[in-house]
């Protein structure tokens, strides 16, 4: 039965959104069915008062998004084994529907090969979904669900069995592309990823470029993603494509300078262990509409 499938939710916070954080927690606790376990990580910041029963960790320094989420996973035991799947939720998000947990339990129970579910992110004021929040190239219809090759980090659920096989999120990335790194490794291990528009997270519409480190991290981590995961012949194809796309998109002058600095750092700084995916996984990504050269 799907009710036997245990869910836990990881929320990382800088401690600067206490009202939004508690509203999110209440939306998780309002879910239908068995309670969703909660874990909140103060990422280099003290935690505000939280409801009883929430598992917590306060980190002395900011470990970045993937590092903080990895700590949250471990609050549910090694590789999250105390639960069957871990939800990752942004601390300024909200689950507007009370059936989200039920839909996730049913999805994971119905398909034992399903490793990751990516939710639909919708602006709470307009209900619209930004194109960048649909994790596929054909993103014009955010209400269309499909198999995909990556997922949205702050609006997702990962089966705990994925972590022992594919590893956790790459902490060294700090921010940007950490989800794709895990997604590629999960796909290489045989898992599937679904985009589910019926599982909704409300989140204010924002631009990722609001972060000062955005352009640097996007470029550096793109290089790391290729170095860690792609067969050698595809590395220059993948990075050459993204180099050209970045120039054609004409980012602001300061952003382009930061991007080039990050691109250089991606080659000169250590990126963690290299585990190139199988060629069968390359073909699988291609069949799903996202060959790993773009």
Q: Is the pLDDT of residue 207 over 90?
A: no
- The domain locations on the chain are 2-206, 209-287
- 2-206 adopts what CATH topology? Spore Coat Polysaccharide Biosynthesis Protein SpsA; Chain A (3.90.550)
pTM more than 0.85: yes
Helices (H), the chain: 18-29, 64-74, 100-110, 162-166, 178-188, 214-229, 234-249, 253-268, 279-287
Tens digits of residue pLDDT in 242-289: 999 888 888 888 888 999 999 999 999 999 999 999 999 999 999 999
- pLDDT attached to residue 252: 85
User: Percent of the chain beyond pLDDT 70?
Assistant: 98
Average pLDDT over residues 185-202: 98
Of 153 and 251, more confident: 153
Using pLDDT thresholds of 50, 70 and 90, give the confidence band for residue 61: very high
- pLDDT attached to residue 121: 96
Q: Which of 197, 200, 218, 219 is nearest to 208 (CA)?
A: 218
- pLDDT attached to residue 211: 53
Q: Is the pLDDT of residue 151 over 90?
A: yes
Using pLDDT thresholds of 50, 70 and 90, give the confidence band for residue 70: very high
- pLDDT attached to residue 67: 98
User: Percent of the chain beyond pLDDT 90?
Assistant: 85
Tens digits of residue pLDDT in 93-150: 999 999 999 999 999 999 999 999 999 999 998 989 988 899 988 888 999 999 999 9
Long-range contacts of 274-281 (CB under 8 A, 24+ apart): 274/227, 274/228, 274/229, 275/185, 275/188, 275/228, 275/229, 276/229, 276/230, 276/231, 276/232, 277/184, 277/185, 277/187, 277/188, 277/229, 277/230, 277/231, 278/188, 279/231, 281/184, 281/187, 281/188
CB atoms within 10 A of CB 20: 17
Which tokens sit at 119?
A: 């939710």
């Amino acid at each position: 039965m799907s009710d036997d499938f245990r869910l836990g939710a990881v929320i990382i916070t800088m401690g600067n959104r206490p009202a939004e954080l508690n509203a999110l927690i209440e939306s998780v606790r309002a879910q239908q069915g068995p309670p969703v376990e909660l874990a909140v990580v103060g990422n280099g910041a003290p935690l505000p008062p939280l409801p009883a029963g929430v598992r917590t960790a306060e980190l002395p320094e900011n470990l970045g998004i993937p590092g903080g989420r990895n700590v949250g996973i471990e609050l549910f035991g090694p590789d999250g084994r105390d639960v069957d799947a871990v939800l990752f939720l942004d601390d300024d998000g909200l689950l507007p529907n009370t059936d989200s947990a039920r839909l996730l339990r049913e999805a994971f129970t119905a398909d034992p090969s399903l490793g990751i579910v990516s939710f639909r992110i919708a602006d709470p004021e307009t209900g619209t979904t930004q194109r960048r929040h649909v994790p596929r190239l054909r993103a014009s219809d955010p209400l269309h669900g499909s198999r995909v090759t990556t997922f949205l980090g702050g609006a997702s659920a990962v089966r705990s069995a994925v972590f022992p096989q594919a590893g956790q999120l790459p902490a060294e990335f700090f921010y940007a592309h950490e989800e794709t790194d895990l997604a590629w490794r999960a796909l290489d291990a045989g898992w599937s990823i679904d985009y589910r528009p019926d599982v909704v997270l409300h989140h204010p519409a924002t631009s990722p470029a609001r972060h000062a480190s955005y352009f640097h991290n996007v470029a550096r981590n793109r290089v790391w993603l290729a170095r860690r995961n792609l067969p050698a012949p595809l590395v220059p194809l993948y990075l050459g494509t993204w180099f050209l796309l970045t120039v054609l998109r004409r980012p602001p002058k300061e952003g382009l300078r930061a991007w080039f600095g990050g691109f250089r750092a991606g080659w000169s700084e250590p990126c963690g262990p290299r585990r190139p995916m199988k060629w069968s996984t390359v073909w699988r990504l291609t069949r799903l509409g996202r060959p790993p050269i773009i």
